[in-house]
């Protein structure tokens, strides 16, 4: 509390309500005989799965942001790890703490407790759609044929867009006249929930929001902690580990902020099922400037070479023995983390550049950061038609230092 009282409360700044989501996964998959061919086996999934979204309302954004970064820095020193980022996502916490889930939970929980007085309330949302009673979900129908998707697969398909679905629920239940709605980036097919969200507000979408926006970072961390708190409580009493409103409220009992829990079910399927194969166009809603990260793809032989200090992490192999996708590997590199920090300092967001889909999204004022001769050529070609900034990834640190120096002075 004393940290907050040191800062004057701004009177005109709009509150921010930020949304992100995680997978709440309590499923098991096993091989069972194929009913059509007993000599074959097919995978069968049992248990409960739902995307779990979290929306955090912050009344005084400037105060929160200052305290959040200060408390992150204090805890970073306390937990003894190096990091030049002003904040991290829950995944970033785990990576910096060597995948020690216990320490990651402790860090995140202490961080939330240290800023809890800045949080007005937290909104939670999830889906209850039991596959044993609802075997499939019908999608499509608008300029495309309808099709039935297995319920488990459908639930997993909604995960990327569930932050937006939850935001749509929230704006219909709360007064948002003085609020900005922030949503973690996603790609999803057209659905009613997005249209209804647009009818109430003009949401700001942050690609990689949990890494380049402190409000979405907090939402991501609270969603992560909710999953973990229920898992821990469920070990003590299985009924307390289930994804239910009363269990979520119990998990956050004792914290100073209020909680509001809602869920979607079969009755509201038309709200969150996709109707058209066409993707939602987010170009007008992305927070600008967007920092597009262009990198020449590195082939498998190059990935076997010893990484340098900027590409550390690009030869990561999962415990299963499978390699991660190139973009997922790239997210772990110091150079991409610098890109997210630069996007934060510029007040925008960051996006891996996909030439098939992203060229049309670039706007005047955006920034293209390139690595490799092919990416450089692409970036310079685009700069001939748009008023954009182009520079090498190698220059990210210098540009960050320049911004930070200007702010100190």
As a whole number of angstroms, the distance between CA 378 and CA 361 comes to: 15
Q: Token pair for residue 391?
A: 């520079």
pLDDT on residue 299:
54
SS3 289: coil
As a whole number of angstroms, the distance between CA 83 and CA 70 comes to: 13
DSSP letters along 245-270, please?
Answer: HHHHHHHTTTSSSEEEEEEE-GGGHH
Would strands 15-34 and 37-58 be described as parallel, antiparallel, or unpaired? antiparallel
Question: Where would I find the H helices in 35-89?
Answer: 61-79
140: alpha, beta or left? (left if phi > 0; alpha if psi -120 to 50): left
As a whole number of angstroms, the distance between CA 199 and CA 177 comes to: 13
Residue 160 contacts by C-beta under 8 Å, 6 or more apart in sequence?
186, 187, 188
Element (H, E) at 130: none
pLDDT on residue 326:
58
Angle at 160 between CA 225 and CA 296, to 5 degrees: 110
Q: Token pair for residue 22?
A: 């995680």
As a whole number of angstroms, the distance between CA 206 and CA 183 comes to: 6
Other beta carbons within 10 angstroms of residue 408's beta carbon come to 6
Buried (b) or exposed (e) across 146-178, using 16+ Cβ within 10 A? eeebebbebbbbbbebbbbbbbbbbbeeeebee
Residue pair 166/125 in contact (Cβ under 8 Å)? The answer is yes
Residue/partner pairs of 154-159 with CB below 8 Å, 24 or more apart: 154/129, 154/273, 155/49, 155/50, 155/51, 155/127, 155/129, 156/23, 156/49, 158/51, 158/127, 158/188, 158/272, 159/21, 159/23, 159/51
Residue pair 67/87 in contact (Cβ under 8 Å)? The answer is no
Looking at the DSSP bridge assignments, the partners of residue 28 are: 46
Q: Which of 395, 294, 288, 299 is nearest to 352 (CA)?
A: 294
Residue pair 366/291 in contact (Cβ under 8 Å)? The answer is yes
Residue pair 150/131 in contact (Cβ under 8 Å)? The answer is yes
Cα separations (Å) of 344 from 164, 216, 288? Answer: 21, 12, 11
| pTM > 0.85 | yes
Residue 392 contacts by C-beta under 8 Å, 6 or more apart in sequence?
369, 370, 371, 376
SS3 125: strand
| Separation of first and last alpha carbons in the chain | 29
Residues in the chain, overall count? 409
pLDDT tens, residue order, the chain (409 aa): 333 434 444 455 789 999 999 999 998 877 777 777 777 777 777 789 999 999 999 999 999 999 999 999 999 999 999 999 999 999 999 999 999 999 999 999 999 999 999 999 999 999 999 988 999 999 999 989 999 999 999 999 999 999 999 999 999 999 999 999 999 999 999 999 999 999 999 999 999 999 999 999 999 999 999 999 999 999 999 999 999 999 999 999 999 999 999 999 999 999 999 999 999 999 999 999 999 999 987 654 443 333 444 444 444 444 444 445 555 667 678 899 999 999 999 999 999 998 888 888 999 999 999 999 999 999 999 999 999 999 999 999 999 999 999 998 8
């Amino acid at each position: 509390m004393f940290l907050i009282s040191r800062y004057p409360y701004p009177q005109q700044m709009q509150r921010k309500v930020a949304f992100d989501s995680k997978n709440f996964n309590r499923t098991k998959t096993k091989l069972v005989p194929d009913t059509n061919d007993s000599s074959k086996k097919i995978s069968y999934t049992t248990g409960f799965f739902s995307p779990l979204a979290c929306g955090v309302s912050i009344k005084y954004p400037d105060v929160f942001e200052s305290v959040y970064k200060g408390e992150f820095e204090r805890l970073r020193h306390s937990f003894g790890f190096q990091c030049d980022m002003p904040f991290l996502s829950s995944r970033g916490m785990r990576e910096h703490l060597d995948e020690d889930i216990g320490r990651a939970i402790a860090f995140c929980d202490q961080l939330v407790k240290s800023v809890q007085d800045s949080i007005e309330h937290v909104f939670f949302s999830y889906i209850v759609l039991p596959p044993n009673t609802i075997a499939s979900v019908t999608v499509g129908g608008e300029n495309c044929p309808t099709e039935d998707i297995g319920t488990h697969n459908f639930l997993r398909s909604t995960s990327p867009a569930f932050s937006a679905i939850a935001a749509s629920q929230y704006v219909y239940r709360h007064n948002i006249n003085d609020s900005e709605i922030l949503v973690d980036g996603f790609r999803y097919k057209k659905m009613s929930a997005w249209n209804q969200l647009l009818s109430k507000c003009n949401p700001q979408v942050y690609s990689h929001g949990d890494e380049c926006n402190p409000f979405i970072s907090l939402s991501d961390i609270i969603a992560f902690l909710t999953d973990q708190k229920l898992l821990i409580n469920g070990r003590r009493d299985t009924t307390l580990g289930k994804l239910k409103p009363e269990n979520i409220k119990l998990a956050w009992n004792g914290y100073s902020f209020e909680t509001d829990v809602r869920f979607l079910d079969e009755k509201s399927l038309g709200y969150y099922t996709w109707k058209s194969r066409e993707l939602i166009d987010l170009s007008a809603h992305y927070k600008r400037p967007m920092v597009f990260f262009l990198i020449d793809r590195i082939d498998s032989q190059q990935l076997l070479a010893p990484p340098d200090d900027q590409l550390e992490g690009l030869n990561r192999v999962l415990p299963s023995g499978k390699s991660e996708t190139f973009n997922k590997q790239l997210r772990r590199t110091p150079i991409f983390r610098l890109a997210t920090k630069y996007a934060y300092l510029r007040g925008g967001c960051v996006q891996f550049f996909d030439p098939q889909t992203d060229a049309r999204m670039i706007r005047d004022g955006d920034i293209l950061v390139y690595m490799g001769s092919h990416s450089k050529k692409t970036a310079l070609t685009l700069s001939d038609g748009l008023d954009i900034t182009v520079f090498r990834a190698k220059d990210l640190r210098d540009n960050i230092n320049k911004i930070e120096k200007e702010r100190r002075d």
